Structure 1
Amino acid sequence: MSGSVTAELAAAGFEDAREIGRGGFGVVYRCLQISLARTVAVKVLIADLDELNRTRFLREQRAAGQLTGHPNVVNVLQVGVTDNGRPFIVTPYLAQGSLDARIHRDGTLPLEEVLRFGVKLAGALGTAHRQGILHRDVKPGNILLTDYGEPALTDFGIAHIAGGFETTTAVVTGSPAFTAPEILAGESASAAADVYALGATLFAAITGHAAFERRSGEQLVAQFLRISSAPVPDPREHGVLEDVSAIIEHAMSGDPGRRPSAAELGELLQASQRRHGFPVDEMALTPDPGVVQESTRSAPADSSSPEREPGGRWPAPTSDSVRTGGLPLELTSFVGRRTELAEAKNLLSTSRLGTLTGIGGVGKTRLAVRVATTAQRDFPDGVFLVELAELRDQSRSVAAPGFVLTDDNTVTVARICRRLDGLPLPIE
Structure 2
Amino acid sequence: MTEQTGQRVPPGQSDIPVIPGYSRLELVSRGSTAQVYRAIQDRLNRPVAIKLLRVDDGLTTAEQVETELATTVALSAQPHIVSIIDTGSTSIGRPYIVMEYCEGGSYGHILARGGPLPVSEVVDVGVKVGEALQAAHEVGIIHRDVKPHNVLRSKYGPALTDFGIARAANDLSGTITLHKLTPQHASPEALRREPQGPASDVYSLASTMWNLLTGYPPFADPGDNSPDPFEYRDRALRDPLPPMPRPDVPPWLYAELLRAMAKTPAERHASAGEFAGALRRGWLRSSGELSTPGDAAPARNGETPHAPAGPAAGPGTAGPA
Same fold (TM over 0.5): yes
Task: Report SS of the residue matched to 1:152.
Answer: strand
The one-letter amino acid paired with 2:128 is: K
> What does residue range 378-417 of structure 1 map to in structure 2 within 5 Å?
none
- Structure 2 distance, partners of 1:64, 1:251, is 25
Aligned to 1:116: 124
User: Structure 1 pair 103/112, CA: closer, same or farther in 2 (3 Å)?
Assistant: same
1:33 and 2:41 matched? yes
Q: What residue in structure 1 maps to residue 278 of structure 2?
A: 268
Distance 1:332 1:281 in 2: 13
Contact 2:191–2:233, Cα closer than 8 Å, also in 1: yes
Identity among equivalent positions (%) equals 32
Contact 2:40-2:47 within 8 A present in 1 as well: yes
Structure 1 residues 129 and 23: alpha-carbon distance in aligned structure 2, compared to 1, 3 A threshold: same
Out of 210, 232, 235, the position equivalent to 1:203 is: 210
Give the letter aligned to residue 269 of structure 1.
L
Q: For residue 24 of structure 1, report the CA deviation from its aligned partner.
A: 4.9
- 1:17 is displaced (CA, Å) by 1.1
Q: CA deviation at 1:176?
A: 1.1
Task: Describe the shift of the 1:259–1:114 C-alpha distance in structure 2 as closer, same or farther (beyond 3 A).
Answer: same
TM-score normalised by structure 2 residue count: 0.76
Letter in 1 for 2:217: A
Contact 2:216 2:225 in 1 (8 A): no
Partner of 1:359: none
Q: Quick check: 1:13–1:34 contact (8 Å CA) kept in 2?
A: yes
1:46 Cα shift? 4.2
**Matched position secondary structure for 2:142:** coil
1:189 aligns with 2:188: no
Task: Count the aligned residue pairs.
Answer: 279
CA contact (8 A) 1:143 1:153 kept: yes
What amino acid sits opposite 1:247 in the alignment? E
Letter of the structure 1 residue corresponding to residue 86 of structure 2: Q
In structure 1, stretches of 5+ residues that fail to align are 162-167, 285-330, 340-428
Aligned CA RMSD, in angstroms, stands at 3.3
> Could you say which structure has the higher strand fraction?
2
| Maintained 8 Å contact 2:55/2:65 | no
Q: Distance in 1 between matches of 2:219 and 2:99?
A: 30
> How far off is 1:216 after superposition?
9.0
CA deviation string 1:242-286 (max 9, x = no partner): 11101011111110111111011011101111111242349x9xx
Q: Give the aligned partner of residue 376 of structure 1.
A: none
Amino acid at match of 2:91: D
Residue in 1 that maps onto 2:233: 224
Q: Which residue of 1 aligns with 2:268?
A: 259
> Helix, strand or coil for the counterpart of 1:204?
helix
Report the equivalent of 2:318.
Answer: none
Q: Which residue of 2 is the match for residue 153 of structure 1?
A: 160
**CA positional deviation for 1:135:** 1.2
Q: Structure 1 residues 35 and 216 mapped into 2: Cα distance closer, same or farther (>3 Å)?
A: closer
Provide closer, same or farther for how the CA distance between residues 23 and 3 of structure 1 changes in structure 2, counting only shifts above 3 A: closer
Once the two structures are superposed, residues 266-315 of structure 1 have per-residue CA deviations (whole angstroms, 9 ceiling, x without a partner) of: 11101111111242349x9xxxxxxxxxxxxxxxxxxxxxxxxxxxxxxx
Please, which runs of 5 or more residues in structure 2 have no aligned partner?
1-10, 168-173, 296-303, 313-321
Q: Following the alignment from structure 2 to structure 1, what is the Cα–Cα distance between the partners of residues 273 and 279?
A: 10
Find the residue that maps to 1:69 and give its secondary structure.
coil
What is the match of residue 408 of structure 1?
A: none
| CA 1:234–1:17: 2 relative to 1, 3 Å | same
Deviations 1:11-63 (A, max 9, x none): 4443221122334543211012335443210112346237x921332233213
State the Cα distance separating 1:143 from its structure 2 match.
0.6
Aligned with residue 234 of structure 1, among 230, 233, 243: 243
Report if the CA contact (8 A) 2:127-2:276 is conserved.
yes
> Displacement, 1:122?
1.0
| Equivalent residue number for residue 324 of structure 1 | none
Q: What residue is the counterpart of 1:247 in the other structure?
A: 256
Q: Distance in 1 between matches of 2:84 and 2:165?
A: 16
Would you say the 8 A contact 1:30–1:41 is kept in 2? Answer: yes
What is the DSSP-based 3-state SS (H/G/I as helix, E as strand, rest coil) of the residue aligned with 2:61?
helix
TM-score (norm 1): 0.58
Q: Which moved more, 1:261-270 or 1:219-228?
A: 219-228
* Deviation at residue 171 of structure 1 after TM alignment: 4.2
1:110 Cα offset (Å): 1.5
Higher relative contact order (CA 8 A, sep 6+): 2
CA contact (8 A) 1:54 1:87 kept: no
What amino acid sits opposite 2:142 in the alignment?
A: L
**Equivalent of residue 106 in structure 1, options 114, 125, 128:** 114
C-alpha change, 1:194 and 1:24, in structure 2 (3 Å) is farther
Shift of 1:185: 0.8
